[in-house]
Amino acid sequence: MDRRALLGALANGALLLPLRALAQQTGRSYRIGYLSTPTRASVEHVLEAFLSKLRELGWVEGQNLAIEYRWADGAVERLPGLAAELVRQKADLIVAPAQSAAIAAKNATSSIPIVMMFPIDPVESGLIASLARPGGNVTGTTFAPDPSIIGKQLDLLHEAVPAASRVAVLWNPVDSSSLAQGEAILESAARSRRVRLQHVDARGPADFESAFASMARERAQALLLSSTSTFLAHGTTLAELSIKQRLPTMCNFREMAEAGGLMAYGVNMADFIGRAAVYVDKILKGAKPAELPVEQPTKFELTINLKTAKAIGVSLPQPLLLRADQVIT
């Protein structure tokens, strides 16, 4: 096409392509891995928020970005093998939306950049050297400023059911993010509330029935679910079991309250996940993970499910309801 014809086509709108689309046609395409502990269905809206932010930044799946998804379906023990697959696929970057996934990815590679999402304490777990200067191939966002969030969750649960003196804590012993880092804080919060804790193990859905049977034998009056993507993947099952046993339950993820848990307190994953896409954008444009400070959330949301409260016969105090960011009716 000569210059005159080109100008004519532009005038007629035939070649009025967005600059971003033009860049996608001529630029390099990247391959990233998405290593996730829960099922895709349980985090679909979170994933879409991530992809939407990537599109805003000019990265479009199927155009200049190929994404290799690996879903552990709640089985933490599958993560190392899935991470190794992504390394063999020669991914340019790995996204790890859970502490367990980030640890598996880091153990699989020390050279491929890793963008983590939602670990509780990435310094203590060995993922990074410090929040300000990660120092290796891992950077991204955290779930909370520190493990003290678990103490706040117990406080809110006690406020909801102040008569509960025996609280079960369900955790996954194969997921390092599940409880260990906040255990001392949780024990301190329990002592201040004169609450006795019962620690119950559950590696996955095969253990749920026996775990709840153990809670019943110990006459637990409330339940705190520790932070693990294993439980997020099976939120509906856990909610059904807690309702059946009439256990007021505090969760980490809003999605679990929406699935039927009584309460949830934590970061809004769908809102905050867009920050992780910014890290992906920077790294693909040449930034080094070691020099990108880790971002911490500053806002946490309280979600209360009134339908569940009615089903288990719990009357929640009005001040607590007024503080909720979301009330499900």
| Same domain (yes/no): 199, 133 | no
| Same domain (yes/no): 106, 217 | no
In a domain, 7, yes or no: no
In a domain, 6, yes or no: no
Compute φ and ψ for 323, nearest 5 degrees.
-85, -10
Q: Residue 170 pLDDT more than 80?
A: yes
| CB-based contact 58:20 (threshold 8 Å) | yes
Under the banding of pLDDT at 50, 70 and 90, the label for residue 181 is low
In a domain, 191, yes or no: yes
Q: Residue 145 pLDDT more than 70?
A: no
Helix (H, G, I), strand (E, B) or coil at 58: coil
| Same domain (yes/no): 287, 308 | no
| Same domain (yes/no): 74, 192 | no
In a domain, 133, yes or no: yes
Q: Residue 10 pLDDT more than 50?
A: no
| Same domain (yes/no): 100, 153 | no
In a domain, 277, yes or no: yes
* Structural domain for 225, as ranges: 149-266+301-328
Q: What is the pLDDT of residues 300-322, one digit of tens each?
A: 999 999 999 999 999 999 999 99
Q: What is the pLDDT of residues 240-288, one digit of tens each?
A: 999 999 999 999 889 999 999 999 999 888 888 889 999 999 999 999 9
Number of folded domains in the chain? 2
In a domain, 108, yes or no: yes
| Choice among 43-47, 181-185, 200-204, 233-237 with the minimum mean pLDDT | 181-185
The β-bridge partners of 304 are 263, 327
Work out the average pLDDT over 149-160: 91
- Cα(144)–Cα(105) distance, integer angstroms: 21
Q: Does the predicted model carry a pTM greater than 0.85?
A: no
| Same domain (yes/no): 314, 248 | yes
| Same domain (yes/no): 29, 107 | yes
Report the CATH number at residue 252.
Answer: 3.40.50.2300
- Cα(177)–Cα(49) distance, integer angstroms: 23
Q: Residue 225 pLDDT more than 60?
A: yes
The CB density around residue 225, as the number of other CB atoms within 10 Å, is 27
The CB density around residue 17, as the number of other CB atoms within 10 Å, is 11
| Same domain (yes/no): 262, 285 | no
| Same domain (yes/no): 69, 134 | yes
| Same domain (yes/no): 186, 217 | yes
Residue 300's alpha-carbon distances to 80, 99, 230, 249, 318, in angstroms, are 31, 18, 21, 18, 20
| Same domain (yes/no): 323, 213 | yes
Strands 249-251 and 263-266: parallel
Q: Which residues of 150-174 are buried (b: 16+ CB within 10 A; e: fewer)?
A: bbbbbebbbebbeebeebbbbbbeb
In a domain, 229, yes or no: yes
- Cα(167)–Cα(185) distance, integer angstroms: 15
**DSSP calls for 100-150:** HHHHHHHHH-SSS-EEE---S-TTTTTS-S-SS---SSEEEB-SSSSTTHH
| Same domain (yes/no): 316, 209 | yes
Work out the average pLDDT over 168-190: 77
In a domain, 224, yes or no: yes
